[in-house]
Amino acid sequence: MTQDEPVRWDALDESLVTMLLADSRRSFADLGAQVGLSASAVKRRVDRLRADGVITAFTLRLDPAALGWTVEGYVELYCRPSTPPAAIRRAVEGLAEVVDASTVSGDADALVRILASDMRHFERVLEQIGAEGFVERTKSVLVLSPLIRRPPPTMH
């Protein structure tokens, strides 16, 4: 299978992935009871989904606000011509407050998501990013209320 080919899976695989997305600590026996399979059959399916790259990790989700990260914002980066994506990555990957960064289409060159403890903290991170030699300007928007936060859809 090449990286461009979507993984083939069935409704049972989708059900298992959906349940694991909701709670990745569920036992194979519990998952199997929900879909009518034995624990060993569920384990084989989960192992296959891991081998196929559908499941890349078992992790947990944190509530940033519960940890003191009360300010969230998105920053558009407008860079000097011919700035390579690797330069942008190097500039932001060391900043713990940067939780997502992507190159984008449109006028901006990249979009960065920042979590901060307060507005002054957000401003300091923004100043650090803006001080990079390749950054011509930035444009920020602050999140007031997250409306939808969910994992990607399971079926295509």
Number of continuous H segments (helices) and E segments (strands) in the chain: 5, 4
**What is the per-residue pLDDT across 66-122, written as a single tens digit (0 to 9) for each?**
999 999 999 999 999 999 999 999 999 999 999 999 999 999 999 999 999 999 999
Q: Could you give the angle at the alpha carbon of 128 between the alpha carbons of 124 and 129, nearest 5°?
A: 120
Contact (CB, 8 A) for 154 and 14: yes
Quick one: pLDDT at residue 155?
60
Q: With 70 as the cut, is the pLDDT of residue 154 above it?
A: no
For residue 34, give Cα distances in angstroms to 40, 42, 134, 155.
14, 11, 53, 19
Tens-place pLDDT, residues 24-57: 999 999 999 999 999 999 999 999 999 998 899 9
Burial class (CB in 10 A: 0-12, 13-18, 19+), 152: exposed
User: What residue type is assigned to position 71 of the chain?
Assistant: V
> In this structure, are residues 71 and 115 in contact, taking their beta carbons and an 8 Å threshold?
yes
Give the separation between CA 94 and CA 26, rounded to whole angstroms. 34
> End-to-end distance of the chain based on CA atoms, in angstroms?
17
Distance CA 139, CA 90 (A): 20
Enter the pTM of the model: 0.75
Q: Residue 103: phi, psi to the nearest 5?
A: -75, 150
What pLDDT does residue 111 have? 98
The three-state secondary structure class of 39 is helix
For 25, the 3-state DSSP assignment is coil
